[in-house]
Structure 1
Amino acid sequence: MWKAILMPTKSTSILWANALFLLLLLAFNLAAPLTIVFAYFLETIIIGIIHLVKLWLVSKYGQKSTDPNNQLSGIPLMLFFTVHYGMFVAIQSIFAFSLFQGSVPGLKDGFDILYNYKFILGYEGMQLILASIILNNVIYFFTNFWQNEKYREYSPDRIFMKPYLRIFIQQFVVILAFFFFIIFNSGMIAAVLLIFFRLFLDLVLFSIKKDSRMLEILTKKISKSPDQYAEVSKQLQEYSE
């Protein structure tokens, strides 16, 4: 099973290419190691913006909400998500900046969010890395959500919280990279480990996309009866959002 997930294929080539691109930037000193760490941190915002597009698509073409107390859709739902997700990003930004403050010269107090974002955006190689991460996320959105018309299968209330699981895992990996940075006193080791951790996570999530062989295998293993197959398959797909 792991061989099927980790083996490079045409479908996962963009994930491998992105990881290789970041490693080459590090190898040729075209980006500072901490730029990688902070770029993955900034990816939280990119994921949120793409999720706004998903909410719009699901509101327009997807299923109707089955919860009578949760009928928000379209622009009102997108505005609510922006506030909700924005508060989440602000809190995790304060935490992350406070965590790195004593180890990264130039960072201010964790509550000085706007200054700190402006500061990390000026890191060497940040524009290249962000462009790579944006491209990676857009392609993933296209292949995993748009191309297979997955938006027709969701209702707005069901997809609303989906990016949070991925974000929690991602922030855990970034914090883990920080501890590697402290333990080894090397931004390079932290950045390389972060790249490989993220590649592994992305490959696992990509492997359970709609109509994939891995999704079928996992669904059969987890389902206790044929009646559960459809629901288990849907839940596994949601983890890839």
Structure 2
Amino acid sequence: MLRSPRSASSPLALVALVAANVVPLVGVVWFGWSLKALLVAYWLESGVVGLLNVPKILAASGSGDGGSSITATINGRQVDLSPPENPRDGFHFYQSSVPIAGFFLVHYGVFWAVHGVFVWTLDAFAVGGVGGVPVIPVLLAAGATLLSHGGSFVVNFVGHQEYRTISPGKQMSEPYRRVIVLHLTIIFGAFLVGASGAPVAALVVMVFVKTILDVGAHLREHAQARKRAKNRRETATETEILDARDTSA
């Protein structure tokens, strides 16, 4: 019998997420990070989220979450977003999901590039000053984000077998829910902070709001995975009962 996936988020992954969000806070309070430095750090973070979603799509093998009935037009042809046939019990990349991952890379890449254009040209239409970008510290913040999300990938998605609870099509859409809401809030906040002259207090508030949204999205994501895992276990149990009845009949 297949092992049931566990999907409650690891406390360690949550702590790592909060720690990664503390890095920009330290940058603002102790190293004088500007508004633009914050926006660049958050833009790089959205790139990390999209990049790590590619192996998730390739490994997703679950069903029953609405992903099996979705199709997309890729290079002029319809591509099925359903889970792979005869999925393996262990973590595995499926060749059938490569077109889905490719479609995501192009679509999300365009979204990320447009977001980047806004961030890097913010000076042109900002009401107040936005400041410069300290390259090394911002890259360190991006590295902390990579460690945080990468750790969650290893612990939750692989270790807790969340890949068995979600289809490739469903997984393809996951980053958009988190990133779009998060960064619309950040962009709106950036205009308000810029208009006020980007004082340290306003930047700190912006970091706190972003952190709260990030933690909420993380908990919601894994709560949904926990629900899918529960449904999967119940379905498997019902199937086993029916099989046992058929065998004894």
The bucket for the TM-score relative to the shorter chain is 0.5 to 0.7
> 2:55 maps to which residue?
53
1:102 to 112, 118, 125: 125
SS in 2 for 1:154: coil
Instruction: Provide the rounded CA distance (Å) in 2 between the counterparts of 1:105 and 1:195.
Output: 18
Instruction: Provide the rounded CA distance (Å) in 2 between the counterparts of 1:32 and 1:95.
Output: 16
Q: Map 1:1-241; keep pairs closer than 5 Å.
A: 12-29=14-31, 31-58=33-60, 61-63=61-63, 66-67=68-69, 69=71, 70-71=79-80, 73-103=96-126, 123=135, 125-186=137-198, 188-208=200-220, 210=222, 230=231
Instruction: Provide the rounded CA distance (Å) in 1 between the counterparts of 2:32 and 2:201.
Output: 16
Structure 2 CA distance for partners of 1:88 and 1:215, relative to 1, 3 Å? closer
Instruction: Provide the rounded CA distance (Å) in 2 between the counterparts of 1:201 and 1:68.
Output: 29
Q: Which whole-Å deviations, capped at 9, do the CAs of 1:57-87 have from their partners, x for residues lacking one?
A: 11xx444963384425422222221111112
Instruction: Provide the rounded CA distance (Å) in 2 between the counterparts of 1:105 and 1:186.
Output: 7
Instruction: Provide the rounded CA distance (Å) in 1 between the counterparts of 2:34 and 2:26.
Output: 12
Structure 2 CA distance for partners of 1:106 and 1:191, relative to 1, 3 Å? closer
Deviation of 1:196 (Å): 0.7
Deviation of 1:50 (Å): 0.4
Structure 2 CA distance for partners of 1:200 and 1:215, relative to 1, 3 Å? farther
Give the letter for the 2:47 counterpart: I
Give the letter for the 1:125 counterpart: P
8 Å CA contact 2:165–2:225 kept in 1: the answer is: no
Deviation of 1:180 (Å): 2.6
Deviation of 1:40 (Å): 0.5
Instruction: Provide the rounded CA distance (Å) in 2 between the counterparts of 1:11 and 1:164.
Output: 20
Structure 1 or 2, whichever has the larger Rg, is 2
Instruction: Provide the rounded CA distance (Å) in 2 between the counterparts of 1:12 and 1:106.
Output: 31
TM-score by length of 2: 0.64
Q: Which whole-Å deviations, capped at 9, do the CAs of 1:190-238 have from their partners, x for residues lacking one?
A: 431222112111221233354x6x998xx8xxxxxxxxx949xxxxxxx
Unpaired stretches in structure 2, ≥5 consecutive residues: 1-10, 72-78, 82-95, 233-249
Root mean square deviation, CA, Å: 3.4
8 Å CA contact 1:44–1:89 kept in 2: the answer is: yes
Structure 2 CA distance for partners of 1:101 and 1:141, relative to 1, 3 Å? farther
8 Å CA contact 1:173–1:194 kept in 2: the answer is: no
Structure 2 CA distance for partners of 1:180 and 1:189, relative to 1, 3 Å? farther
8 Å CA contact 2:28–2:34 kept in 1: the answer is: yes
Deviation of 1:151 (Å): 0.7
TM-score by length of 1: 0.66
